[in-house]
Amino acid sequence: MDIPQWPIAGEREAELLRQVLASDRWGGFHPFVTQFEREFAAFQHCAHGVSALNGTVTLEMALEAMGIGQGDEVIVPAISFISTATAVSRVGALPVFVDIEPHTFQIDPARAAAALTPRTRAVMAVHFGGPVADMDRLLQLGVPVIEDAAHSHGSEWSGKRAGSMGVAGSFSFQNSKVMTAGEGGILTSNDSELADRVRAIANQGRRKDGAWFNHYTLGTNYRITALQAAVLIAQLERLPEHNRLREANASIIRRELEAVPGLTLQTIRPEARIQTNYLLLGRIDAAKFGMSRDAFHRAITAEGIPCTPFYPHTLYNNPLYRAGGCRVEPCPVSEACIADAFWFPHRVLLGSETDARELSGIVQRISSSCRQPSLA
Ligand SMILES: Cc1ncc(COP(=O)(O)O)c(C=O)c1O
């Protein structure tokens, strides 16, 4: 298989970088930064975009700008990257871990509803792997929803783009993400006042039209550089074609692997059909598949295909949260996924149709080889 390297860049990134290098503003006040914020926010159907160092501080700023802190609770899925939870802890609030759904891998709205208390101030809707979580049901919970859309640049829920439905959306441009500047993040929102508060945090407590040395609120410096913005403008131009290509190849793989016993790829709800395919996720039922997830991972890795045997533990089983500072609701599905789920990174979907068929063929071959009757 010819699996492309990631990240992918070309002459467009180089040309925009040269323009920045030739200018006298390499920092956060080059026009490219504003241009990128405007273009990305519009792409996600949002009125505002505030760029920042990464997709961790954007989550922290969203919570801080919402006034969430000591004594508050925020509901978080037990399966995500650590930032979804640490953002809550770092503003002084309590993460409340709830289970995910068995095959969408998304936060289970019924489990979130059961975890609500008078102290609940928000729910973190992580759009895990690319498809948007069930926003219809999450928005009905009666508490603000923050979309952790780190995997979901261009993903949709019933035609609405990720980051445009909740109070705020948080995107990451870290190296593995479907568009990247190595590091970076952006917060999107349709709430002007929230966006202004977030901008003030990221830009030293300044006001939109305030003087340079006037600082009105407690802020810091989370600004990205013009070099990052230059790369991100070019990466956003590439994204629609990459999303289309990943979807075309993922569809082939989903179709070809549908009948493999004991293998279930991530269920994509019809509302979430347009999505990035950031992770091609699956679960292995060892009894039906004929080998464990770990054995499958070894076999697929031996074929030279990049694959990750899921997270090694739920968020609450990280040493950080084993020491306390959280509430844990029953999470049997999350626990099961730790043992039986895996993902392929999105670059396996950026090859040709032939590569997609070859990947399916390798998985089919591994699956049938372990169900062959013993020759002994
Ligand atoms: C779901 C999720 N949220 C937040 C983040 C944090 O983004 P960053 O690495 O840009 O801080 C990540 C990054 O991997 C992520 O996967």
Q: Is the CB of 126 under 6 A from ligand 1?
A: yes
- Does residue 374 register a pLDDT over 60? no
Are the C-beta atoms of 71 and 119 separated by less than 8 Å?
yes
Contact 105, 78 (CB under 8 A): no
Reference 146, options 173, 128, 164; nearest CA is 164
Q: Whose CA is nearest to atom 14 of ligand 1?
A: 81
Model confidence band, residue 1 (pLDDT cutoffs 50, 70, 90): confident
Task: For residue 59, give the ligand 1 atom closest to its CA.
Answer: 4
33 lines ligand 1 (CB under 6 A): no
What is the C-alpha to C-alpha distance for residues 268 and 304, in angstroms, rounded to an integer?
Answer: 27
> What is the Cα–Cα distance from 84 to 63, expressed in whole angstroms?
11
Is residue 148 lining ligand 1, measured as CB closer than 6 Å? Answer: yes
Task: Determine the average pLDDT of the residues in 235-245.
Answer: 98
pTM of the model: 0.97
3-class DSSP state of 296 = helix
Q: Which residue among 6, 147, 174 has the greatest number of ligand 1 atoms within 8 angstroms of its CB, and so is best to mutate?
A: 174
Q: CA nearest 124: which of 291, 220, 135, 311?
A: 135
Mean pLDDT over 70-76 rounds to 99
Backbone angles phi, psi at 24, to 5 degrees: -105, 15
Cα-based torsion angle of the residue sequence 269, 270, 274, 275 in order, rounded to the nearest 10 degrees: 0
Q: How confident is the model at residue 240 (pLDDT cuts 50, 70, 90)?
A: very high
Q: Spell out a b/e string for 148-163, using b for 16 or more CB atoms within 10 Å of the CB, else e.
A: bbbbbbbbbbeeebbb
* Cβ of 83 less than 6 Å from ligand 1: yes
Amino acid making up residue 376: A
> Cβ atoms within 10 A of the Cβ of 328, count?
17
Ligand 1 pocket residue status of 188, Cβ below 6 Å = no
Q: Which atom of ligand 1 is nearest to the CA of 184?
A: 10
Confidence label for 375 from pLDDT (cuts 50, 70 and 90): very low
**Strand, helix or coil at 43?**
helix
pLDDT tens column, 49-70: 999 999 999 999 999 999 999 9
The answer, yes or no, to whether any atom of ligand 1 lies below 6 A from the CB of 58, is no
* Predicted local distance difference test score (pLDDT) of residue 372: 67
Query: What pLDDT digit, counting tens, does each position of 286-301 carry?
Result: 999 999 999 999 999 9
CB atoms within 10 A of CB 192: 10
Q: At what angle do helices 192-202 and 57-65 cross, to 10 degrees?
A: 120
Is-contact 43 92, C-beta < 8 A?
no
What is the set of domains in the chain, with CATH numbers? 11-236 (3.40.640.10), 239-369 (3.90.1150.10)
Pairing of strands 160-161, 168-172: unpaired
- pLDDT at res. 373: 59
**pLDDT, averaged across the chain:** 97
Mean per-residue pLDDT, 365-374: 80
Residue with tokens 């080059």: 30
Cβ-in-10-Å burial (0-12, 13-18, 19+) of 108 comes to: buried
Cα(183) to ligand 1 centroid in Å equals 10
| Ligand 1 atom index nearest CA of 172 | 10
> Hey, CA dihedral for 86, 90, 96, 101, is it positive or negative?
negative
| Tens-digit pLDDT profile for residues 13-60 | 999 999 999 999 999 999 999 999 999 999 999 999 999 999 999 999
Distance, CA of 217 to CA of 65 (rounded, Å): 11
What pLDDT is recorded for position 370? 81
Which tens digit of pLDDT belongs to each residue from 128-163? Answer: 999 999 999 999 999 999 999 999 999 999 999 999
Q: Output the CA angle 8-248-183, nearest 5 degrees.
A: 30
